[in-house]
Amino acid sequence: GEHSVEKDEKLKILYQALDQLPPDKREILVLSQLEEMEYKQIAEMYQITENLARVKVHRALKSLKEIFQKFVR
């Protein structure tokens, strides 16, 4: 029904917002959110500390939310 259309719209916007992100931020978000990788795994992959991996994911999420808000308005 109506609900799924709205969900599809939001997904479409989400992917458009992802496209606007710098590649490094986009990549880390895809790994953490879509691939559901743990910070530990991300840290090993990028050869950074787990703490830094967490910070990078949070920054990327924040950027994504800001872009998402612009699309939704």
Q: Which residues contact 17 (CB under 8 A, 6 or more apart)?
A: 64, 67, 68, 71
pLDDT tens-place string over residues 8-66: 888 888 888 899 999 999 999 999 988 999 999 999 999 999 999 999 999 999 999 99
DSSP secondary structure string for all residues of 41-61: HHHHHHTS-HHHHHHHHHHHH
Using alpha carbons only, how large is the chain's radius of gyration in Å? 14
Does pLDDT of 1 surpass 60?
no
Count of residues for the chain?
Answer: 73
**Which pLDDT score is estimated for 6?**
84
Instruction: Give the distance from CA 7 to its chain's centroid.
Output: 17
Q: Amino acid letter at 55?
A: V
Does pLDDT of 2 surpass 80?
no
